[in-house]
Amino acid sequence: MTWLRRKSIDRITQHEEGRRLVPTLSWPHLVALGIGAIVGTGIYTLIGVGADKAGPAVLLSFVIAGVVCACAALAYAELSTKMPAAGSAYTYSYGVLGESIAWIVGWSLILEYSLVVSTVAVGWSGYFVGFLQWVQQNFGWNVTLPAALAAGPHAGGVINLPAIVITFMVAGLLMAGTRESATLNAILVVFKLIALAVFIAVALPAFNPDNLQPFMPFGFPKSLDAAGVERGVMAAAAIIFFAFYGFDAISTAAEETKNPGRDLSIGIIGSMIGCTLIYLLVALAAVGAMSYTVFGKSAEPLALIMRELGHGTAALVIGIVAIIALPTVLLAFFYGQSRIFFVMSRDGLLPRGLSKVNARTGTPVAITVFTAILVAALAGVARLDEIAALANAGTLAAFVAVGVCLLVLRSREPERPRVFRTPLAWIVGPVAILGCLYLFWSLPQRTQLWFLVWNAVGFVVYLAYSRRNSVLAKGGDA
């Protein structure tokens, strides 16, 4: 069946000259890429959104999202070392499940990465605007932006200029070269971890058990309150899930990794374990130091907690580091987005002209510029919670596909050599699949609807263009 035609797993790393990415990365770059992607808006800003939905039980939301992501990460580690090509879940689906399913996964990944970058840009803008206000209050310098340029229409402004500017700055860095971008990313990740360590050191001693009561004010499952807002532990977990993924960006770097058999599993699992521990400590310190009703609505919750506790200097440090280091998330997901576009174009599912690699920098420049324009348009006007939720829908779809690929390949080709074997695969795989499906069900209904609309549009594009223009359809090996 042409709908389910598959790429050869044995030839999945063979590509024509001029459309091949250059291996320049080692495992420290990948771990930093993973931590840079995972630790970002999720903990710096979405902890407030999650606490507003679940109260102190946001701690459970972090645990649930973390367990599901850990299972997905183990599946990614096995598949990425088996198929070390760019494209992540899209590539695995193409080799295991077939072209039409791979298209849905790739289309969902386009949604994920575009919206993640937009979300982080909006989160960074909140810290940047807060920092400018602090400078004016303490030094009398009139450096604040007009309200019309500091936020999108939902927050009383016209356009979020800082979000647009940072998007194009990161795009420019990525076009300069992969190894250069990864090295700078690693340096900024160190600053990011120092800032979170400062927050934990200051907030944890102020822990007050009374702030954890009532622990679960909105219940466990997703439910609607009197104002029509979806609340509960699972409603928060479905949003906070955004805080954990990012390790999948590592898998998009497979083709540019010098020793993928060793380095990809180290990067994916190492960054996931480290970030889970960091998140739980930061979340515990936040909800213990202050009532969730105080910081739940803030665009910069960690800095707000520091100021309320009387640690203005610590708040300044966190705010400055967020301004400096949050772009590491932009960089990681922007990188992933360009590689997803690149591989889908190389396979012929998108115009082949987009998959040309710049001979000097080794990067796909045209697709990076296109992505910057798309992301900047979203970041300039969109709401943080809405675009984060929609990005989660795309990621959940990809994670389900990866879990299915793991089980199908274990059943279809049990003797195929595996550099990394997922432990307890027949438990880990179903937990990843069912957990992601439950998280998807816990997303706002509006988000679910828009996700279906997005994929309906994608299906039309596939029928109209991609199905007949794919390299496999023309007799090639993609």
* Cis peptide bond upstream of 214, omega within 30: yes
Residue with the bigger pLDDT between 122 and 93: it is 93
Cβ-based neighbour number of residue 250 at 10 Å: 38
Residue 468 CB neighbour total at 10 angstroms: 12
Q: What is the pLDDT of residue 386?
A: 63
Evaluate whether 238 touches 442 at the Cβ level (below 8 Å): yes
Does position 154 have pLDDT exceeding 90, yes or no? no
Under DSSP, is residue 366 helix (H, G, I), strand (E, B) or coil?
helix
Residue 73 near residue 65, CB atoms below 8 Å: no
- The answer on pLDDT for 111 being more than 80 is yes
Q: How confident is the model at residue 388 (pLDDT cuts 50, 70, 90)?
A: low
pLDDT band at 365 (very low <50, low <70, confident <90, very high): confident
263-291 pLDDT per residue, tens: 888 888 888 888 888 888 888 888 888 88
pLDDT digits (tens, 9 = 90+) for 338-349: 888 888 988 989
**pLDDT: is 423 or 307 the higher one?**
423
The token pair that represents 242 in the structure block: 């955004």
Q: Which of 259, 233, 279 is CA-nearest to residue 70?
A: 279
Q: How confident is the model at residue 367 (pLDDT cuts 50, 70, 90)?
A: confident
177-207: buried (b, 16+ CB within 10 Å) or exposed (e) per residue? bbbebbebbbebbeebbebbebbbebbeebe
Q: Are 76 and 248 in contact (CB under 8 A)?
A: yes
**Would you say 106 and 350 are in contact if contact means Cβ atoms under 8 Å apart?**
no
Higher pLDDT among residues 314 and 69, named by residue: 69
Mean pLDDT score, 242-250: 77
pLDDT above 70: percentage of residues in the chain: 93
Burial annotation 135-173 (CB, 10 A radius, 16+ → b, else e): eeeeeeeeeebeeeebbbeeeebebbbbbbbbbeebbeb
3-42 residue pLDDT tens: 778 888 888 777 676 677 777 788 888 888 888 777 765 6
Output the pTM of the full model.
Answer: 0.81
Among 35-49, 78-92, 299-313, which is the least confidently predicted range? 35-49
Average predicted confidence (pLDDT) for the chain: 83
Contact 253, 174 (CB under 8 A): no
- Confidence band, pLDDT 50/70/90 cuts, at residue 306: confident
Instruction: Please determine, for residue 436, whether its predicted confidence score (pLDDT) is greater than 80.
Output: yes
Q: How far is CA 167 from the centre of its chain?
A: 15
Identify the pLDDT of residue 352.
85
Task: pLDDT band for 462, please (50, 70, 90 cuts).
Answer: very high
Confidence at residue 1, expressed as pLDDT on a 0 to 100 scale: 58
Whether residue 428 is predicted with pLDDT greater than 90 in this model: the reply is: yes
pLDDT band for 361, please (50, 70, 90 cuts): low
Residue 257, strand partner residues:
25
Q: In this predicted structure, what is the pLDDT of residue 42?
A: 61
pLDDT score, position 41: 59
Helical spans, DSSP H, in 311-421: 312-325, 327-346, 365-381, 384-412
**How far is the C-alpha of 53 from the C-alpha of 70, rounded, in Å?**
23
Q: Which residue type, as a one-letter code, is found at position 413?
A: E
Per-residue pLDDT at 411 exceeds 90: yes
Nearest one of 392, 385, 323 to 163, comparing CA atoms: 323
Q: For position 473, what pLDDT does the model report?
A: 84
Find the angle CA(447)-CA(100)-CA(2) to the nearest 5 degrees: 160
Per-residue pLDDT of 183-212, as tens digits, reads: 887 888 888 888 888 888 888 888 888 888
In percent, the amount of the chain with pLDDT more than 90 equals: 15
Q: What is the mean pLDDT of residues 249-261?
A: 84
